[in-house]
A and B are shown apart, each in its own frame.
Chain A
Amino acid sequence: MDAVAAPQAIDFRTEPARYKHWRIELRDNVAYLIMDVDPNGGLVPGYELKLNSYDLAVDIELHDAVQRLRFEHPEVGAVVLQSGKDNVFSAGANIRMLGQSSHGHKVNFCKFTNETRLAIEDATENSGQTYLCAVNGPAAGGGYELALTAAHIMLIDDRRSSVSLPETPLLAVLPGTGGLTRLTDKRRVRRDLADVFCTTEEGVRGKKAVAWRLVDEAIPPSAWAETVAKRAREAAARSDRPRDEKGITLTRLERREEPHQLHYRYLSVVCEPEKHRATITLRTPTEALPASLEEAVARGDRFWPLALAREFDDAILHLRFNAPELGLWVLRTEGDPAAVLAHDAFLEAHKSHWLMREIRLFLKRVLKRLDVTSRSLIALIEPGSCFAGSLAELAFAADRSVMFAGQRAGDNRSPATLTLGPANFGCYPMGNGLTRLATRFYGEPESLTRAEAAIGQALEADAASELGLVTFAFDEADWDDEIRIMLEERASFSPDALTGMEANLRFAGPETMETRIFGRLTAWQNWIFQRPNAAGAEGALGRYGSGIKPDFDYNRV
């Protein structure tokens, strides 16, 4: 490959001391998350990040900051997104970067960006950390999309600053990383006004922006700083986060890179590029369950559920960006199912504690990240595995799950089991708002009831199969061949068709804003990104900044 250890591999691990583009200021139980992009700090050469425009390097730091504020700052009840530049909030995604990026990079970038935006909304909704946005200069495109993630948007009314989504008139693409969808679904902007807004390059300012519900308030400069601080303090005062507790530190994630392998403490990745395959194995803890909440808190980021979630998150992002050729992910687990269930129970028992709540919310987000990953996911449930409770979600996230029936000759381990727990029935919903099991049994509610009745039972292959919890069960006689053929066949299909098919099948049932954003991002934005009107030599992205007008093909498709 060497996808895993490629020299220019994108690394998602960072920390505030390394930030080039953001800084965090803390006062009055409020975090001010200040975007001050270093124009020369882009991920790769070839473009300058002017006017607080961003690329993946900027978004990696934002992702890190949002995560750290949750775990490291229980005292912070509100976060204000603002710009550290005088004349601009943010000009959005950097156009030259988009122009020079591969299609795959653009898609990955948009998806990651949107995941971070959803994490911001999740913090407001579930974490007691309300995001506000102080738009202290023009916010265009992705800049306004970022603002849209906040629960309360303040726009400086200096007769100059506007919010805008100029993608269509300016770039022949869409404000597709949630911009269009959040306008109508979240802010409930009237669709005809949204149409006008999205075709007006210069955007909308002041009172009109309030009247159209594009922002929540327009504030004159003389009252700006004071009002922003006041709104933030008010939001922080409504938070249920404990003001006197200390946060934990998210230390740098250690991982060992070997040729074709990547090893974390509780997770390993083994890559087989010639088979287009990566095998991801998650393991149970080496430490015993903490005896008390205090002990769990003291373990900090070494506490198993959190440690594993961080490792899995990093591995997913790493493989998505650095190993696009590995289209097939085999999901495995190793360890004691009882340990998984015990940790699930521990988290459930202490779910009102801020840190335990954060851990569960993080696990939820990691599993969602897996759901929207454009790789074929196959779970192999074998002897020695621990698909129980929260880890059983892997089997339900997978496109197929295959279970080993019985034992192998010469292997004295007991047969593989699958154990459901309460964690499979509520705390880790998918983007569609349903649990993975409820989505799986969308057409057969009685199967969901039967599964719930089986909570706590270590189900062997026949029983799991009977309950519809696995796709296939094979015994020793068939296993090796069946698995080999299945994986080889899967790897031989068109990756594009697979991506589309899997994304369609994974999200049965109701649409939510979240599924709509991902669906439309995938379908519309990625279609437009491929079309000559945007990406061709005479298209708008390539010609952007040259002053030369794009030549459009005016035929509607």
Chain B
Amino acid sequence: MPEGMHVDYDGLIPNNVGLAQDLRVRKALETWHPGYIDWWKEMGPVGFQESLVYLRTAIGVDPTGWAVFDYVKMPEYKWGILLAPKVEGRKIPFGRHKGEPAWQEVPGEYRAMLRRLIVVQGDTEPASVEQQRHLGATAPSLYDLRNLFQVNVEEGRHLWQMVYLLQKYFGADGREEAEALLERRSGDADRPRILGAFNEATPDWLSFFMFTFFTDRDGKMQLEALAQSGFDPLSRSCRFMLTEEAHHMFVGATGVQRILQRTVSAMNEAGIEDPYDVEAVRRLGVIDLPVIQKKLNLHFSLTLDLFGNEISTNAANAFEAGLKGRYREDKLTDDHQLHNATYPVLRCVSGRIVEEQVPALSALNMRLRDDYVREVEAGVARWNQVIAKGNINFKLKLPHVAFNRAIGEFSTIHVDPDGNILDDAAWAARKSEFLPSSDDGAYIADLMKPMFERGRYAGWIAPPRVGIDNKPGDFEYVRIV
């Protein structure tokens, strides 16, 4: 059995990292644990904490059987620390140390950079739980309610993964950072989460699905890049987290798909052909396609900000140091050092959008973002199939990467979703064409009425094609107490 296959369930914290023998880290984690539970109760899902939720729990790291489903009260969820099994003889795959044995301990010279990478990643995990905490009250079905909580508990577990690394490898500083992860609050003026998109509200279920589709997928890309890390414990940790992340994106992709399905069916039944006849569509109690496009515009642009600046010294440094690689670095066939390579990047030069060839090392954020955009494009194409099947003449489209940006070079200009530059006045006048207006928000909020009857769904969303864990349609995914 390779190192790391055995999972220990005896202690408070399930793990495959030998916590029982590692007194120092076990003590640190046990000290941190009550604070985490307090955080969960204070900032986790509102209500439902006593309810029995049909959740999957990671129980091992064997890809063929890593999780079991059962009813669990969320505060009793087995949050544990699970690293992908160690690959014997793993080498650092890129950067100046390429080919050297992967680090099992933190190299001193990269300690600060590595800690920063872990803290930034770790901060996003509890942040999304906080952002989504009010959604339970308006869930369109027990199925969706369960999915929400599944995402939430796993994001909580991801925090554990990062906290373990901080406490195991970064001494007193790491413990301090672990505490701070519990202290920041999404959207709080005085102690916000680190990244902007994680301080935005998730006001309704359409936003939740868009978030899990777009923003969890950024999380996936970041985890993929960190899974390549020459620091082996980080790589192993991220590799395992990725197995859970797939479900989060599934929730988002199918959630939007089901909304589209419902809207298109309702339009077909009512004989409405014009997708822009918003009033008529809204009279049917479903979500009109133009507002779905606006939500898409919003969440896509917020998520692009998470990839950072177009030209980034930090990204270059992290790559050169062997700490954060590219998407599927192990599948790429170049020299994995990039000292002489260039990469095309869209930049903002004197208020205009131009493509420039820049040193590939400083363009790594954009490279990861381009890989990301390719994936979401494929997802959007699948959504469009639903609309096309209903014979509605409407296509969802990703906005231009310069649209509605707060980070990077395009934050200084306004462009429409097609990338045409707008002056301040034109932007102010047309903003509500591109992004959800308060009227749009109010309409969606009004639709958000809970549906907690077994097997039934709110009128604005279609049922899923198959149940979770192959359960039948009327399965009681949450036993509400």
* A and B together in one complex: yes
B262-320 at interface with A (beta carbon < 8 Å): 313, 315-317, 319-320
Which of chain B's residues have a CB closer than 8 A to the CB of A201? 112-113
Q: Is the CB of A546 within 8 A of B116?
A: no
Instruction: Determine if A549 is an interface residue (Cβ-Cβ < 8 Å).
Output: yes
CA distance in complex: A175, B107 (Å): 26
| Given A547-B316, A547-B317, A548-B361: A158 in contact with B190 (beta carbons within 8 A) | yes
**A-B contacts, CB under 8 A, total:** 51
Q: Which residues of A contact B41 (CB under 8 A)?
A: none
A200 within 8 A of B: yes
Q: Is B64 engaged at the interface, CB distance under 8 Å to the other chain?
A: no
Whole-angstrom distance between the alpha carbons of A128 and B372 in the complex? 57
Instruction: Identify 29 residue pairs between A and B in the complex whose beta-carbon atoms are under 8 Å apart, listed by A's number.
Output: A157-B190, A158-B190, A158-B192, A159-B180, A159-B184, A159-B192, A160-B194, A200-B112, A202-B112, A220-B189, A220-B190, A220-B191, A221-B190, A222-B189, A222-B190, A544-B313, A545-B316, A545-B362, A546-B316, A546-B359, A547-B313, A547-B315, A547-B317, A547-B361, A547-B362, A548-B316, A548-B361, A549-B96, A549-B320
Interface of A (DSSP majority class): loop
Which residues on the B side are within 8 Å of A544 (C-beta)?
313
Our pick among B112, B180, B190, B361 for the contact of A546 (Cβ within 8 Å) is B361
Q: Does B453 contact A (CB under 8 A)?
A: no
- Interface membership of A530, Cβ < 8 A: no
B192 A547 Cβ-Cβ under 8 A: no
Which of these, A157, A200, A220, A547, contacts B320 with CB under 8 Å? Answer: A547
> Does A40 sit at the interface, judged by CB under 8 A?
yes
Closest to A159 in B: B191
B interface residue numbers (CB < 8 A to A): 96, 112-113, 116, 180, 183-184, 189-192, 194, 313, 315-317, 319-321, 339, 350, 359, 361-362
A547 adjacent to B112 (CB under 8 Å): no
Extra A-B contacts (17), CB below 8 Å, given A160-B192, A546-B359, A548-B316: A40-B350, A157-B190, A158-B190, A158-B192, A159-B183, A159-B184, A160-B194, A169-B112, A201-B113, A202-B112, A222-B190, A544-B313, A546-B361, A547-B319, A547-B320, A547-B359, A548-B361
A200–B184 Cα distance when bound, in Å, is 22
Are B320 and A548 in contact (CB-based, < 8 A)? yes
Task: Decide if the interface of chain B is mainly helix, strand, loop or mixed.
Answer: helix
> A residues within 8 A CB of B113?
201
Contact bitstring A520-557, B, C-beta under 8 A = 1, else 0: 00000000000000000000000011111100000000
| Closest CB pairs A-B (n = 10) | A547-B316, A547-B361, A220-B190, A547-B320, A545-B313, A221-B189, A222-B189, A159-B191, A221-B190, A222-B190
State the Cβ distance, B68 to closest chain A Cβ, in Å.
37
A169 to chain B, nearest CB (A): 8
Across the interface, do B96 and A548 meet the contact criterion of CB distance under 8 Å?
yes
Pick the residue among A40, A158, A202, A546 that contacts B191 (CB under 8 A).
A158
Q: Which residues of chain A in 270-310 are interfacial with respect to chain B, using CB atoms and an 8 Å cutoff?
A: none
**Would you give the shortest CB distance from A107 to chain B, in whole angstroms?**
25
In chain B, what residue has the closest Cβ to A39?
A: B412
Q: Which residue of B lies closest to A169 (CB)?
A: B112
A544 to B317, CA, bound (A): 9
Is A202's CB under 8 angstroms from B116's CB? yes
Question: B180: which A residues are within 8 A, CB to CB?
Answer: 159
CB distance from B176 to the nearest CB of A (A): 9
Query: What residue in chain A is nearest B115 (Cβ atoms)?
Result: A202
Q: How far is the CB of A38 from chain B (nearest CB, A)?
A: 10
Q: Please, how many angstroms separate the alpha-carbon atoms of A548 and B361 in the complex? A: 8
Give the docked Cα–Cα distance between A92 and B209 (Å). Answer: 42
By a CB distance below 8 angstroms, the chain B residues around A40 are: 350
Report how far A229 CA is from B159 CA in the complex, Å. 39
Tell me the A179-215 residues at the B interface (CB within 8 Å): 200-202
Cα A546 to Cα B321 with chains together (Å): 12
In whole Å, how far is A398's beta carbon from the nearest beta carbon of chain B?
46
Contacts of B96 in A (CB 8 A): 548-549
Please name all residues of chain A whose beta carbon is closer than 8 Å to the beta carbon of B359 when the two chains form the complex: 546-547
Q: Looking at the assembled complex, report how far the CB atom of A307 sits from the nearest CB atom of chain B, in whole angstroms.
A: 40
Nearest Cβ on chain A to B469's Cβ, whole angstroms: 40
The complex places the Cα of A221 from the Cα of B188 at a distance, in Å, of: 9
* Contact partners of A169 in chain B: CB under 8 A: 112
Q: Chain A, 137-170, contact with B by CB distance < 8 Å: what is the 0/1 string?
A: 0000000000000000000011110000000010
Report how far A169 CA is from B111 CA in the complex, Å. 12
CA of A97 to CA of B203, assembled, Å:
45
Chain A residue numbers with a CB within 8 Å of B315 are: 547
Q: A321-355 vs B: 1/0 string, CB under 8 Å?
A: 00000000000000000000000000000000000
A232 vs chain B, min Cβ distance (A):
21
Cα distance A546–B363 when bound, in Å? Answer: 10
Shortest beta-carbon distance from A502 to chain B in Å:
39
Q: How far is the CB of A146 from chain B (nearest CB, A)?
A: 21
A200-B176 Cα distance, complex, nearest whole Å: 16
The closest CB in chain A to the CB of B123 belongs to A159
Q: Which of A373-403 contact B (CB under 8 A)?
A: none
How far is A221 from B190 in the complex, measured between Cα atoms in Å?
A: 5
Which chain B positions have C-beta within 8 A of A545? 313, 316, 362
Bound CA–CA A159/B183 (angstroms): 9
Closest CB in chain A relative to B188 CB, distance in Å: 9
Residues in B whose Cβ lies below 8 Å from that of A159 = 180, 183-184, 191-192, 194
B95, closest chain A residue (CB):
A547
A135 to chain B, nearest CB (A): 16
- Shortest beta-carbon distance from B256 to chain A in Å: 31
Report the minimum CB–CB distance from A227 to chain B (whole Å).
Answer: 12
* Cβ–Cβ < 8 Å partners of B350 in chain A: 40
Query: In the complex, what's the smallest C-beta–C-beta distance from B263 to chain A, in angstroms?
Result: 38
B96 to chain A, nearest CB (A): 6
**Nearest A residue (CB) for B338:** A547
Q: Find the A residue at minimum CB distance from B318.
A: A547
**Residues of A close to B319: CB separation below 8 A:** 547
What CA separation (Å) do A503 and B192 show in the bound complex? 50
Query: In the complex, A87→B180 CA distance in Å?
Result: 20
Q: In the bound complex, what is the Cα–Cα distance between A547 and B112 (angstroms)?
A: 16
Interface-centre pick from A159, A222, A544, A547 (highest chain B CB count, 10 A): A547
Closest chain B CB from A98 CB (angstroms): 14
Give complex CA distance A535, B192 in Å.
39
Tell me, in angstroms, the Cα distance from A546 to B312 when the chains sit together: 9
With A and B bound together, what is the CA distance between A159 and B184 in angstroms?
A: 8
* Complex CA distance for A201 and B111, rounded to whole angstroms: 11
Cα of A221 to Cα of B187 in the assembled complex, Å: 12
User: Which residues of B lie under 8 Å from residue A160 when comparing CB positions?
Assistant: 192, 194
Distance between Cα atoms of A169 and B108 in the complex (Å) = 12
B residues in contact with A158, CB < 8 Å: 190-192
A468 CA to B76 CA in the complex, in Å? 90
Output the nearest chain A residue to B412 by Cβ-Cβ distance. A39
Which A residues touch B362, using CB under 8 A?
545-547
Bound-state Cα–Cα, A169 to B189, Å: 32
Kindly name the residue among A40, A200, A221, A548 whose own CB sees the greatest number of chain B CB atoms within 10 A: A548
**Bound Cα distance from A40 to B349, whole angstroms:** 9
A residues 215-248 with Cβ under 8 Å of B?
220-222
A201 to B321, CA, bound (A): 15
Q: Find the B residue at minimum CB distance from A205.
A: B180
Q: How many angstroms from the CA of A40 to the CA of B352 in the assembled complex?
A: 13
For A220, list chain B residues within 8 Å (CB).
189-191
- Which residues of A are found within 8 Å of B317, using beta-carbon distances? 547
| Residues on B with beta carbons closer than 8 Å to the beta carbon of A200 | 112
Q: State in angstroms the CA–CA spacing of A221 and B185 once bound together.
A: 13
Cα separation A200 to B194 with both chains bound (whole Å): 19
Give A220 to B184 CA distance when docked, in angstroms. Answer: 13
**Smallest Cβ-Cβ distance to B321: which chain A residue:** A549
Residue of A160, A220, A545 with most chain B CB atoms under a 10 A cut-off: A545
| Chain B residue at minimal CB-CB distance from A157 | B190
Min CB–CB distance B126 → chain A (angstroms)? 13
- Which chain A residues numbered 27 to 85 have a C-beta less than 8 Å away from chain B? 40
Q: Which residues of B contact A202 (CB under 8 A)?
A: 112, 116
For the complex, give the distance between the alpha carbons of A202 and B115 in Å.
Answer: 11
CB of A42 to closest CB in B, whole Å: 14
Distance (whole angstroms) from the CB of B185 to the closest CB of chain A: 10
